Amino acid sequence: MKVKIEIDPFLPQDEILIRCSQVDERILKLQQALNNAGPEKNCISLQDGDTGYYVPLDQILFFETEGKKIQAHTAQKLYLTELRLYELEENLPGHFMRISKSTIVNLDHIYSITKNLSASSRVEFYGTAKKAYVSRNYYKALIEKLGERRKRL
């Protein structure tokens, strides 16, 4: 892939153009990453009772379903969102990943994973006692994705 940057001081707004011979998964992921990179994508609208909050995505540990509601967990608080889990999965940046039918986790906050061969494995986070559980079907993909992300550090 060839990357080229052109500087035009007279451009009224930054513009990114992707030229490709065909649209494949790699191009779609690049488009999603660029869409999520803008400052307007750094917060998510969440509720706690009658109050609406705009919470920075980097504070979210994980999202999970509880009955018919979707909960967003930070280290200190629990919020609710009107979005469905599949909508979150489609729109969240690449450092979020589904780890079970009912949970999407922020990979940047994972501190440890305690493997359990007969059931879901426990995921723990930095600076909090909150836990999430990764199902056996998602365990290998989670370990691989964490391995890829940790190599860059």
121-138 pLDDT per residue, tens: 999 999 999 999 999 999
Are the C-beta atoms of residues 108 and 58 closer than 8 Å to each other? Answer: yes
Query: Domain 39-151 falls in which CATH fold?
Result: OB fold (Dihydrolipoamide Acetyltransferase, E2P) (2.40.50)
* 137: nearest Cα among 110, 111, 119, 112: 119
Q: What's residue 40's pLDDT?
A: 52
Alpha carbon 69 to its chain centroid, in Å, reads 18
Question: pLDDT above 90 covers what percent of the chain?
Answer: 60
Q: Is the pLDDT of residue 96 over 70?
A: yes
Region 62-89: mean pLDDT is 95
The residue that leads in pLDDT, 151 or 152, is: 151
Please give the mean pLDDT across all residues of the chain: 88
